[in-house]
Amino acid sequence: MHGTMILGSQWGDEGKGKITDYFAEKADLIVRFQGGTNAGHTIVVKDEKFKFHLLPSGVLHPEKKSIIGNGVVVDPKVLIDEIENLGKKGISPNLFISERANVVMPYHKMMDVAEEKLRGKKIGTTKRGIGPCYSDKISRYGVRMIDLTDEKILKEKLKNIIPIKQKIFQAFGEDTVLSNDEILKEYLEYGKKLKKYVADTSLIIAQAFDDKKNVLLEGAQGTQLDIDHGTYPYTTSSSTTAGGGCTGSGISPLKIKNIVGVVKAYTTRVGEGPLPTELKDETGKYIRDRGGEYGTTTGRPRRCGWLDMVVVNYACRLNGFTSLAVTKIDVLSGIKKLKICKAYHYGDRIIDDFPANPGILEKCVPVCEEFNGWEEKNWKETVKKGYNALPDNMKKYLDFISFSSKVPVGIVSLGPGREETIDIK
């Protein structure tokens, strides 16, 4: 295993949490490297559901080290709540938070709301302050985790930042009043609670590699939400792709040996932006209901559509996936005829590379391959018998995914539990 990265190949919500939890069994150290509380993953262990926004999935294995890398934007209040909730279940996380990670401040969340209100075309953000926090990081106005542990530095930073933010809110026509003293007091308090976790995480990961430990990097969101390569501007504000894994955790790309692309057996998207294979009919509703396709973070219904291999193949190219983990394929049971999009019709042209131009993408019509479906089964029992026990039509569907992407399917997931997973050796 050594250096393994788990990444979403679509618009997030591919089931990365479960796949990460599965790989975490063999890992010694699990790293989250980007995003913030906009992410949400649900992990089911022995029928008990755990929902996290910030904590890496690895925290459910307290004997392993869990790391929040420098590329993550940390909302300290949410993080403290998640740690305390785990504590109530008797789990004390073996957690390290990068001292270089930027902190989500109250004005970031307010600005996220204010910007959405003023935008002509909304992005449909999660309103968790993610974009404004990353903007401040790039503009070098950011507050970092290490600052929360040093009163003098935090005071100085806030003295510089707050008047600027205040002026921006005024220009936006907002009557927000920011209190320097209150923010300082609140965030120093968070600093006190989190100090024991704050560390040079890049160094800890480097030491783990030196000691020949297995390091697992866990992506949040998906390739199509990447700030550079996604459906900009309908993306998140971080690098969700393989390169982001290295900068967001402070490691060399040479350390990564496996890159697992998580592919949901159909497509979903929350928020605005184009979705070429969207199903606005009964089949879309069937998939949404069976797949429980409602946002973990915002509760919004997800838009659903057929699997789009133009999207997945683009993700394979950008990330260099060494294998794929296909999730939620059980959700498609009972649909008589299934479709997989293999290219787009754009006017009289056929496109099989994902276009950057949103004007082109909006007009793309999917070119699909049709597949016979399969009936619902007791998947827990089927999984015990291994890959060969899967319905033939399901295997044809999976074969097409690896044929089209030229990447082997290594894992098939047929339910939320750890035991509902087939590892194709």
The residues assigned a catalytic role are: 13, 41
Work out which of 201, 223, 231, 237 binds ligand IMP, going by CB under 6 A. Answer: 237
Residue 240 as a binder of ligand IMP (CB under 6 A): the answer is no
Closer CB to ligand IMP, 235 or 405, in the complex: 235
d(CA 240, CA 384): 33
- Binding-residue pattern over the window 203 to 222 for ligand IMP, x denoting contact by CB under 6 A: -----------------xx-
Pick from 291, 206, 299: which is nearest to 3 by CA?
206
Residue 38 as a binder of ligand IMP (CB under 6 A): the answer is yes
Closer CB to ligand IMP, 3 or 142, in the complex: 142
Spell out the residues 6+ positions from residue 139 whose beta carbon is closer than 8 angstroms to its own: none
d(CA 151, CA 366): 56
Work out which of 271, 305, 355, 366 binds ligand IMP, going by CB under 6 A. Answer: 271
**CA diameter of the chain:** 66
CB of 111 to ligand IMP, least distance (A): 11
CB of 272 to ligand IMP, least distance (A): 6
Query: How many helices (H) and strands (E) are present in the chain, helices listed first?
Result: 13, 20
d(CA 134, CA 114): 16
Work out which of 110, 225, 329, 422 binds ligand IMP, going by CB under 6 A. Answer: 225
CB of 132 to ligand IMP, least distance (A): 9
Work out which of 39, 86, 146, 161 binds ligand IMP, going by CB under 6 A. Answer: 39
DSSP label of 60? G
CA angle 85/91/97 to nearest 5° reads 80
**Which run of H or of E encompasses 52?**
strand 48-52
CB of 318 to ligand IMP, least distance (A): 17
Residue 9 as a binder of ligand IMP (CB under 6 A): the answer is no
3-class SS string, 111-134: HHHHHHHHCCCCCCCCCCCHHHHH
Residue 110 as a binder of ligand IMP (CB under 6 A): the answer is no
Residue 180: CB atoms within 10 Å? 14
- At CB < 8 A and 24+ separation, what contacts does 401-406 make? 401/263, 401/307, 401/309, 401/312, 401/324, 401/326, 401/340, 402/324, 404/309, 404/312, 404/313, 404/340, 404/342, 405/309, 405/312, 405/313, 405/316, 405/321, 405/324, 406/316
Instruction: Report the amino acid identity of residue 231.
Output: T
Residue 263 as a binder of ligand IMP (CB under 6 A): the answer is no
CA dist 340 → 144, 223, 278, 401, 415 (Å): 44, 19, 12, 9, 21
First to last CA, the chain: 14
Q: Which stretch binds ligand IMP (CB under 6 A): 172-180, 234-242, 255-263, 375-383?
A: 234-242
d(CA 197, CA 170): 37
CB of 27 to ligand IMP, least distance (A): 21
Work out which of 29, 227, 270, 411 binds ligand IMP, going by CB under 6 A. Answer: 270
Work out which of 3, 12, 191, 417 binds ligand IMP, going by CB under 6 A. Answer: 12
Q: Which stretch binds ligand IMP (CB under 6 A): 56-64, 126-134, 170-178, 362-370?
A: 126-134
Work out which of 32, 128, 229, 328 binds ligand IMP, going by CB under 6 A. Answer: 128
* Peptide bond connecting 253 to the previous residue in cis, omega within 30 degrees of 0: no
Closer CB to ligand IMP, 11 or 96, in the complex: 11
> Using CB under 6 A, which residues numbered 241 to 260 contact ligand IMP?
none
Residue 131 as a binder of ligand IMP (CB under 6 A): the answer is yes
Determine the residue with CB nearest ligand IMP: 271
Q: Which stretch binds ligand IMP (CB under 6 A): 35-43, 148-156, 277-285, 354-362?
A: 35-43
Residues in touch with ligand IMP (CB under 6 A) = 11-13, 38-40, 123-126, 128, 130-131, 220-221, 225, 234, 236-237, 270-271
